Structure 1
Amino acid sequence: MTETNQPWNTPMPDDQFELMRDILAAPSPIGIEAAMTYGVLKPYLERVSPKDWHIHQFKGHAGIVLDSHPGRDDMFKVMIIGHADKIRMQVRSIGDDGKIWINSDSFLPTTLIGHEVKLFSEDPENPGSYRVIEGGTVEALGAIHFADANVRSGDKGIKKEQLYLELQIHGENKKQQVENLGVRPGDSILLNRPIRKGFSPNTFYGAYLDNGLGCFTTAEVARLMAEDGGTEKIRVLYAMATYEEIGRFGSRVLAGELKPDALIGVDVNHDYKAAPGIGDRRMNPQEMGKGFTMSVGAIASEQLNRFFETTAREREIPFQRDVVGPDTGTDGMAGVLASVDCAATSIGFPIRNMHTISESGNTQDVLAAIHAIKGTLQKLDALKDPHREFMDNHPRLDTASPLGHQGSEKPEGDDKDA
């Protein structure tokens, strides 16, 4: 394969970037994810998939699964999972001065100050109907002049209990002004920052890359597989899960319901090389712009990883090994958490500033992940018997061959330290 027809080495097409932005921009806080799954992803998947593919829907949450061979439980089932839920802030209480006190959820409080948000309020008079308020910002101190010396010097930070939503309420009966809007404790608040193309080539930034990117990747794999005629021996389940940010509850339900034989979680990862202040932790130096990441450790299947690595090497797709220890931290754990026997791994893309309004990523890493997953599915589909392949070929370290010293010369063209 030449470099000219390797999508991961070229800029992402504008229409594909627009789809990615639409998916990431959909307001889908945890528990109310249908804006992304039903509003953007379901219509797109219906448009790009063959008529005999089927979309599964669920009662307890807004997750969806596109099924390439509905009803074929005899086939080897591969589930690919992105999650549509976004971490959200919530209204905690309303003060007499009109301040809307909020919960920060999984955000670092100091990263929220001054940023614009949208407040989604259910109409008290019409349950199930939602309104949106724009123009508010998250605040904590109001001004540096009101902070104590330790906060002003940076020795102390902002506590989550200090956060409030500023709606510029003034005049008489400030609390009543807010209550007249129908704002109530529990209402959802989301950061208002759709992604934009970044300054550096092939980069982008904005809120909630975690994990609309996984859903975008899964949807694009579905489109490309459909364009190539789908699969013959494996049944592919393209899943858009929920509740990942609070314990991966949605994906384990999907795994429990559909019982995949192999499971691929797709989620953002960290750019450890650019992360400030962690040099002494000796993290694996994975970084943005160097390809997709593949989890190694925890429940990650060495067999499934072998197919990914072989695919990447054959197609010259750049990839990085991600050392995950006892837990992938992603929906790659869904199978084992749901007590389903399946080979699993987690595929990702390094980003910076995770869980902030300025998460940053690289389009070529995302494209690398898309085409690595597609190639791996095709490789699995080419197996004589995928079921027996995974049951009979677990790696055995007792058959490892001896390895001696290999010298100090670097491979030709390798300028990295050994």
Structure 2
Amino acid sequence: MKNNFLLIFICTLSLNVNAQKTQVQLAQNSVGKLQVSIANKEDVKKQLTTIGEGIKAIEVAQNDKKTKNWAETWAIKAYLSSYISLIDENESNADKYYILAGEALEKAIKLDKYQDNSGLIKASTYNINIKKQIEGNSAYQQNDFVTAFNLLKQVSDFLPKDTTLAVNVALCAQNIQSYDEALNYFKRAKENEIKNPVVFQTMASIYASKFENELAIKTLEDGLKLNPYHPFLTNDYINLLLDNERYDAAVKIIEGSIPNEKRNKLLLFLHGYLQQSQLNNNNAAELAYKKALDIDQNYFDALYQLGLVYINNANNSLKEKKNQKFISYINRSEFTLLRAHEINPNDRNTIQLLIEIYTRKNKLDKVQDLKRKLNEF
């Protein structure tokens, strides 16, 4: 009688174990069916039905004393749950399975000592990261940059070669004023051969704000190697060189860029300004300003600086006792600065120069009018 009880117990135990094994096998079959369904591009409803069968089986297996300790159980659950989180249009249900997928993946990795389930674990990890990317992009669109940064950072670390992801993480970091992190992810994009000039511009701007000017200059040089004569990169590079008093380098880059940017009035203006202020070459400056004004006749900065060129030439003519030239240059400066004054009537420096010109020409009524205007500001 005793032996008969033992036999019945062993048989019952064997049936229970086999039953749990069957549940895992059912779940495995669902994974296979899902792969076929995906390959055949079946609709989401069919895929969810297939996954539902597997989820039902795996939930039984995960609650069994034996199969709950199998890495395979949790790897299957992680994969099926992560796929639901991507395709289920019911957001609350998708979010629920996203959480369950993460928990199951953690257990699967812990139990899978021999990497027997590496394929399922890898696929689950990928799916979970895609879900994080979706959530991160959504948070970014809602201006929740902290959440977006935390999520997209994880995805970028999982997919470090994806330059778009790296840039998006960097932009999130910028928005939360985490500039070191922004640089880290911009650099990741740069190291993976991104060519987008905005990346180089933004990196240089961050370096400059940290007073790391050499790194800023080097970054813009790298950007220009990939985007030769790009107008925004070129302008930023020139301005940075000027800010750091590297005038010779600025002149070279300007002279090299002008043939490719003949309609770039700012480039022409900067060329004139350097010729005027650093090289004392008024003739070259005059020519550059005139070319800029050919592009935009109402370019105030070019008019103002051209007026200064004529005043300087007038002063030089006076020193050389060339009165006729002096008169010619004073008249030109008056005409040019009057045009500048018409465009920007509230610019004090232009008014001061016109007062100086009219004083020399003994037009005291105009001097008084302009002085009254200054007092009105």
| TM-score where L is the length of structure 2 | 0.22
Which structure's CA Rg is the greater one? 2
| TM-score where L is the length of structure 1 | 0.20
Write 1 or 2 for the structure with the bigger share of helix. 2
